[in-house]
């Protein structure tokens, strides 16, 4: 069994079997991460290029670590230091990167659909590391992996996703992935950030935090994108925390063994209280480690598909 | 045309003899660690472990080793190998690792397995146990324990069928 496409662009476009293959492969790579020698020669001689048109520390670092653990060479290109600031187009940059010998291009861009465009135009494998407000598939896959690891299953779990769903590509990929694997998804947040049409994706919408968290198995917090502050989505971060911030009292509405997730970076005191982020229920750091294993699986699997 | 080379009884006898040879060579089982190569080797390793327990009276945990990430044909194969779990429950530093596989052929899997084991630690020795040695080595590799030597031609295939995979215990030449 292998992936059908040389690229990983979106959760929406891959089959349930492909999601399961990625998760099973990631379990094998997690074994590698637990050893003294955390490296395998699988992709020796290949080159991975991280092409980041948007600031990112953790996703870029995670992809970089994953690529290095697979023995590929890694080149990081960030727009602030590249010829993009001199006006080069995306396709020209990508072609240049290919001429340098790239086998896999990991791309993040503020425009939705960029990775899809790139994948259609170059021979190398393209992995979407976040495109605009569209998708962030590897984040959803690492979330699935973490839930599966902690809960032993995904089917029939009650998963509450809280925060800025509207602008969150993480939330979108998570909704597609979770509903596909049979979880019940609830979306919680202010009406300005949780549009009603999201019901069409098979999720339940709650504007009241306590009601939404009742009996949840998994609480996924999203980062409040502070750059959206003052644009009318919510009056103030203080008021946001009072209504939709995750506090210990609100966690108690969920099941006793509920886990708490956050894709990072966290805004302590805005979407999540410190005592909750640091509690034993929090699996936020497990998500970081699992992210490496999942990205190793993705890089390995896409490189095995001949164009 | 297919021909049964080993049946259930033959297979059991071969495993029993290999278990005795492992004990004899290593003067017991205290210094050894059994590691089966995914997937066929894992079943044979489990059978050896059960037999060793029967003879020596103590448990011997079985490790599983996935070699797909160490293969030398990753770039040329049409189908990418499925990555399975590598879980070695015992400390391998300064232990004798007995690698277990079902069929020994070109020796390339064993080369990959040795590299994979070396990344897990520094064993004092690596030994090799195989249920069937069908010849045609492409690397200087030799098994320490062999269930059965079967001369084959390159265009034949040796299939080890096991009850663990829902089949009848037997080795078939096709």
Phi, psi for A25 (deg, rounded to 5):
-65, -40
Tell me how long chain A is: 307
pLDDT digits (tens, 9 = 90+) for A242-277: 999 999 999 999 999 999 999 989 999 999 999 999
- Could A41 and B120 be called an inter-chain contact, meaning their C-beta atoms sit closer than 8 Å? no
pLDDT band for B145, please (50, 70, 90 cuts).
Answer: very high
Residue A23 has pLDDT above 80, yes or no: yes
Closest Cα in chain A, distance from residue B69 (Å): 4
Choose the closest CB to B70 out of A25, A40, A297.
Answer: A40
Closest Cα in chain A, distance from residue B68 (Å): 8
* Closest residue, chain B, to A36 (C-alpha): B120
Residue A81 has pLDDT above 90, yes or no: no
Residue-range domains of chain A with CATH: 16-136+288-303 (3.40.50.1370), 137-283 (3.40.50.1370)
- Could B83 and A1 be called an inter-chain contact, meaning their C-beta atoms sit closer than 8 Å? no
Query: Quick one: A55 exposed, middle or buried, by C-beta within 10 A (0-12, 13-18, 19+)?
Result: exposed
Give chain B's mean pLDDT: 93
Just list the catalytic residues of A.
Answer: 58-59, 86, 108, 136
Angle, nearest 10°, between helix axes A58-69 and A284-303? 50
Q: What is the DSSP letter of A198?
A: G
Residue B9 has pLDDT above 70, yes or no: yes
- CATH number of B3-74+81-173: 3.90.226.10, 2.40.50.220, 3.40.190.170, 3.40.50.2020? 3.40.50.2020
pLDDT digits (tens, 9 = 90+) for A181-223: 999 999 999 999 998 888 888 899 999 999 999 999 999 999 9
- Could B119 and A27 be called an inter-chain contact, meaning their C-beta atoms sit closer than 8 Å? no
Q: Measure the CA–CA gap between B91 and B127, rounded to whole angstroms.
A: 16
> Any CB–CB contact under 8 A between A304 and chain B?
yes
Closest Cα in chain A, distance from residue B124 (Å): 18
What pLDDT does residue B74 have? 85
What pLDDT does residue A84 have? 66
Domain locations in chain B as residue ranges:
3-74+81-173
Q: What is the DSSP letter of A282?
A: B
* Closest residue, chain A, to B66 (C-alpha): A28
Are the beta carbons of B171 and B3 closer than 8 angstroms?
Answer: no
What pLDDT does residue A274 have? 96
Q: Measure the CA–CA gap between B104 and B113, rounded to whole angstroms.
A: 12
CB atoms closer than 10 angstroms to residue B161? 18
- Could A39 and B82 be called an inter-chain contact, meaning their C-beta atoms sit closer than 8 Å? no
Strand ranges (DSSP E) for A192-288?
A: 204-206, 218-221, 259-261
Phi, psi for A10 (deg, rounded to 5):
-155, 155
> Any CB–CB contact under 8 A between A19 and chain B?
no
Are the beta carbons of A157 and A218 closer than 8 angstroms?
Answer: yes
Are the beta carbons of B113 and B37 closer than 8 angstroms?
Answer: yes
> Average pLDDT for residues B106-123, to the nearest whole number?
95
> Any CB–CB contact under 8 A between A195 and chain B?
no
Closest Cα in chain B, distance from residue A228 (Å): 42
> Any CB–CB contact under 8 A between A42 and chain B?
yes
> Tell me, what's the ipTM?
0.83
Residue A256 vs residues A87, A208, A276, A284, A294: alpha-carbon distances, Å = 54, 20, 14, 18, 28
């Amino acid at each position: 069994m292998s992936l059908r496409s040389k690229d990983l662009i979106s959760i929406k476009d891959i089959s349930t079997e492909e999601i399961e293959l990625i998760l099973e492969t990631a379990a094998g790579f997690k074994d590698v991460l637990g050893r003294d020698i955390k490296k395998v020669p699988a992709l020796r001689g290949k080159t991975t290029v991280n092409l980041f048109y948007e600031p990112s520390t953790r996703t870029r670092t995670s992809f970089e670590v994953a690529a290095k653990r697979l023995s590929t060479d890694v080149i990081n290109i960030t727009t602030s230091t590249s010829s993009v600031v001199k006006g080069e187009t995306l396709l020209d940059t990508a072609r240049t990167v290919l001429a340098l010998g790239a086998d896999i291009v990991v791309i993040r861009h503020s425009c939705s659909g960029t990775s899809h465009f790139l994948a259609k135009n170059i021979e190398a494998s393209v992995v979407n590391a976040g495109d605009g407000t569209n998708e962030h598939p590897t984040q959803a896959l690492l979330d699935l992996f973490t839930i599966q690891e902690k809960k032993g299953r995904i089917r029939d779990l009650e998963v509450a996703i809280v925060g800025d769903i509207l602008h969150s590509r993480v939330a979108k990929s998570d909704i597609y992935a979770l509903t596909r694997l049979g979880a019940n998804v609830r979306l919680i947040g202010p009406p300005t950030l949780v549009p009603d049409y999201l019901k069409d994706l098979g999720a339940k919408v709650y504007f009241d935090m306590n009601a939404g968290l009742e009996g949840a198995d998994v609480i996924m917090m999203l980062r409040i994108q502070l750059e959206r502050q003052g644009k009318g989505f919510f009056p103030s971060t203080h008021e946001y925390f009072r209504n939709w911030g995750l506090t210990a009292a609100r966690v108690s509405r969920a099941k006793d063994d509920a886990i708490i997730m956050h894709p990072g970076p966290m805004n302590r005191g805005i979407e999540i209280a410190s005592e909750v982020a640091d509690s034993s229920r929090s699996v936020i750091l497990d998500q970081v480690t699992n992210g490496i294993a999942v990205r190793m699986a993705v890089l390995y699997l896409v490189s095995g598909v001949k164009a | 045309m297919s021909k049964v080379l080993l049946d259930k009884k033959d297979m059991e006898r071969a495993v029993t003899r290999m278990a005795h040879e492992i004990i004899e060579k290593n003067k017991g089982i205290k210094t050894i660690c059994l590691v089966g190569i995914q997937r066929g080797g894992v079943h044979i390793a489990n059978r050896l472990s059960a037999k060793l327990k029967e003879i020596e009276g103590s448990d011997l945990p079985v490790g599983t080793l996935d070699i797909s990430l160490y293969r030398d044909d990753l770039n040329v194969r049409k189908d990418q190998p499925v990555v399975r779990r590598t879980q070695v429950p015992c400390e391998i530093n300064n232990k004798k690792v007995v690698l277990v596989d079902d069929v020994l052929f070109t020796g390339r899997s064993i080369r990959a397995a040795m590299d994979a084991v070396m990344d897990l630690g520094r064993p004092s020795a690596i030994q090799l146990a195989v249920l069937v040695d069908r010849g045609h080595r492409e690397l200087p590799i030799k098994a320490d324990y062999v269930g059965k030597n079967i001369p084959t031609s390159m265009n034949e295939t040796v299939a080890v069928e096991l009850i663990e995979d829902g089949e009848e215990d037997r080795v078939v030449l096709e």
